[in-house]
Structure 1
Amino acid sequence: MFQQGLKGVVAVQTAIASVDGDRGELRYRGQLVGDVIQGKSFDETAYFLWYGQWPDAEQLTNLQQQLISYRELPAHIVEIAQLLPKETPLMDAMRTLVSAYTHAEFQATSPAEQAIALTAALPVMTAAFYRLQIGQELISPRDDFGHTENYLWMINGQEPTRVQTEALETYLKLTMEHGMNASTFAARVTISTESDLVSAVVSAIGTMKGPLHGGAPSGVIDLLDKMKTEDRIDAVITEKLDRGEKIMGFGHRVYRTEDPRSVILRDKCFELQGEDPWIDLATVAEKHIVNLLNERKPGRALYTNVEFYAAAIMRSIAMPTQLFTPTFSIARIVGWTAHALEQQDNNVIFRPQSEYIGS
């Protein structure tokens, strides 16, 4: 039976993650995402998604050492980045640089280590090309920084604050994986042909680039910028509702209740209240907006989605909008590679049928 866009069609059985939109649950390896990431670093969460278990002390140390070692980009990748026109969109540059990442030393490693290498290299490639775009010198990675802290360092050349690192790392851990989304499906289709991991990630990046999938929360940024202060919230939202405009950051295609990722980001923002004005504004604005939506659109049950608090976090660290979708990809590469490895373990090539409707 034909289902446009394969909506509702089960094409994969996976042990990596599950999304229950009716109950508002996202699970990593069967565990609620909030329980998984609580007190865990980016590295630990990635290990859990890749291997289905938590690393012991030795395994975690080995993983961290691998991630640090792969921050050093091969010379030819830096040269290609320098040759690309500065006006090249960042997602296009990421796709190009990842496609060129294959080299003899990389090919000699296992697929699992390749996943680690690509996860470590992607933020470095992103930061490097961003710096070239804005006419700034490239910044070398820091071995004494964690994954998220190093990414922020390489973008700005300044040591990020604890608040900035904690907020962004929470976002990265929450968006590593989200079931059979379009980019993850693209990665699995590519690897199912017995292609390589680099090609699978390139396919995923090309898919993530599309605004229907990897659309950045720039609309929420604009909303926060218009409000600026707590006393303007009601006026800005009322004006938008009077004009019949959508309130960006509210509602989700999958979740019929609150987006669990938004709930966790909100909790993190509550923890950080008083330390950043944009995070403070978002936490107050949500309450006002929900009340106004309930008054004007009763029964719709519109809740914040992950983009609302993600935008507040991006705004608080002054992240340029062109880095939003690339940053999303830097998190999601963990899920892409986990799915590609799982596909390799029990592979059948994807070969759906088509229905001819021409003359």
Structure 2
Amino acid sequence: MSLGLDDVIAAETVLSHVDGEAGRLIIRGHDLETLAGRASYEQVAALLWTGFAPDSGEGTAAALGRARVAAFGLVAPVLQGAGDLTPVEVLRLLLAALPDASPVPGHHLVTGAMPVFAAAAIRRSQGQGPVAPDAALGQAADFLRMVRGRPATPAEVSALDTYLVTVVDHGLNASTFAARVVAATAAGMVSSVVAGLCALKGPLHGGAPGPVLDMLDAIGSADRAADWLAAALDRGERLMGFGHRVYRVRDPRADVLKAVAAGLRGGANRIRLAEAVEQAALDVLATRKRSRPLQTNVEFYTALVLEALGLPRAAFTPVFAVGRVAGWAAHVLEQEQTGRLIRPQSRYVGPMPRQAA
């Protein structure tokens, strides 16, 4: 038996493959490095959806722009009852308000709605009202504009677009598996994507970029890195941004995002501190954790990218969802084609009833 379902094959997919031994991520037949920074988020979403949904004929970018506009009508009435919810909780509430019956195809609806809802949730946490989408823009450009209330620079749009592509899909991770389990019940696209977001909300899946910045704050300067990291390990703490459930070598997404981070703010960000902390962490982990390879993961440089874009730490999980939603939608479409309910077995280890004499 494999606790946590390690190495258990639960689905066959054409969407993505994570090779943890080689440090390779394949997205629909393409290495991640050939897509990130070269193909737009809309192009990669279309690649994932090819063969699972009919072509609308208007192009993916236009379809998602139209879906963003359709979703915005839900924002104001739903936010009235949001109370003291955090940004990710507000995002969950807004997604749950999407109708199952919509003239907008489900994969377009959830993917277009995610940046609208995430931006509204972020602005609400800052005491600001929502900004209406611009259907003529791409996902990355419109998201930044809706968060800030003003257009982003081309460099910022390119950086966010690359990030969204980098996290668009990643095998059968916890949130994707949750989405597929719900899709297998024929519950529909919206319910499946809400399930994916609920799994992503957990701090063990997608929740480390914010704590990476907390760690950099605490270290403060490169000369303190080695001692601080060693002391953290002495206290039994995890070093945030290092280690991965699947990768046994460096996460290929880390280098993509490191290059993106280095170019933001003209390099006038914390990239030099981050590089020093990364090297010190790899050195101390190689010495102290010899039995388990712990390399840099996607969340380490994600933190630098999102910080340089001026996004608050409480927004990091919603921004992750803005990227991952196209992958969730693709897996839902793929799962729906199988028509098979996901129903694993468990092994009972509790007490048995006493036999009658």
> What TM-score bracket applies, with the shorter chain setting the length?
0.7 to 0.9
Equivalent pair of 2:37/2:162 in contact (CA under 8 Å): no
Aligned-residue RMSD, C-alpha = 2.7
Match of 1:8 in 2: 7
Identity, % of aligned pairs? 38
In the TM superposition, residue 357 of structure 1 has moved relative to its aligned partner by 3.1
How far 1:236 sits from its partner (Å)?
3.6
Q: Paired residue for 1:84?
A: 81
Q: What does the per-residue CA deviation read over 1:56-82, in whole Å, with 9 as the maximum and x for residues that have no partner?
A: 9x96x6211111112224576124332
Residue 116 (str. 1) matches residue 108 (str. 2): yes
8 Å CA contact 1:269, 1:280 repeated in 2 = no
Preserved CA contact (<8 Å) 1:184 1:339: yes
In structure 1, the partner of 2:313 is 321
Distance 2:98 2:198 in 1: 16
Aligned to 1:345: 337
In structure 2, what is the equivalent of residue 93 of structure 1? 90
Secondary structure of 2:17's counterpart equals strand
- For the Cα contact (< 8 Å) 1:277–1:316, is it kept in 2? yes
- Could you say which residue in structure 2 is the equivalent of 1:33? 32
Return the offset for 1:90: 2.5
Shift of 1:147: 0.9
Q: 2:153 aligns with which of 157, 161, 181?
A: 161
Structure 2 residue 151 is the aligned partner of structure 1 residue 186:
no
1:201 is matched with which residue: 163, 179, 193?
A: 193
**How many Å separate the matches in 1 of 2:108 and 2:97?**
17
CA 1:126–1:269 in 2, change beyond 3 Å: closer, same or farther? closer
Quick one: distance in 2 between partners of 1:155 and 1:313?
16
SS in 2 for 1:68: helix
Query: Aligned residue for 1:257?
Result: 249
Whether the 8 Å CA contact 1:216–1:321 is kept in 2: the answer is: no
Contact 2:17 2:171 in 1 (8 A): yes
Distance in 1 separating the partners of 2:233 and 2:174: 31
Quick one: structure 1 residues 7 and 294, their matched pair in 2 at CA, closer, same or farther if it must change by over 3 Å?
A: closer
d(CA) in 1 for partners of 2:344, 2:141: 43
- Structure 2 CA distance for aligned equivalents of residues 50 and 151 of structure 1: 21
- Say whether the 8 Å CA contact 2:260–2:305 is kept in structure 1: no
Contact residue 16 and residue 28 of structure 1 kept, 8 A: yes
TM-score for the superposition, normalised by structure 2? 0.88
Could you tell me which residue of structure 1 aligns to residue 355 of structure 2?
none
Aligned residue type for 1:146:
G
- How many angstroms apart in 2 are the aligned matches of 1:344 and 1:68? 25
C-alpha displacement of 1:288: 3.9
CA contact (8 A) 1:19 1:25 kept: yes
Q: Deviations over 1:27-64 (max 9, x none)?
A: 111321112334111111111111179xx9x96x6211
Corresponding residue number in structure 1 for 2:282: 290
- Output aligned runs, 1:290-309, within 5 Å: 290-294=282-286, 301-309=293-301
In structure 2, list runs of 5 or more residues that go unmatched: 353-357
Q: 1:74 to 1:150 in 2, by over 3 A?
A: closer
User: TM-score when scaled to structure 1?
Assistant: 0.87
Whole-Å Cα distance in 2 between the matches of residues 27 and 355 of structure 1?
A: 34
* Alpha-carbon distance, 1:165 to partner: 2.5
Q: Distance in 1 between matches of 2:297 and 2:329?
A: 25
Deviations 1:253-305 (A, max 9, x none): 21101011112212333455843322343234323433444455567543211
| Shift in alpha-carbon separation, 1:51–1:141, aligned structure 2, 3 A | same
Equivalent-residue separation in structure 1 for 2:292 and 2:178 (angstroms):
33
Partner Cα distance (1:217, 1:268) in 2:
15
Aligned-partner residue type, residue 132 of structure 2? S
Among candidates 138, 142, 148, match of residue 150 of structure 1:
142
2:49: which partner in 1? 50
Deviation (angstroms), 1:310? 0.5
Q: How many residues align?
A: 349
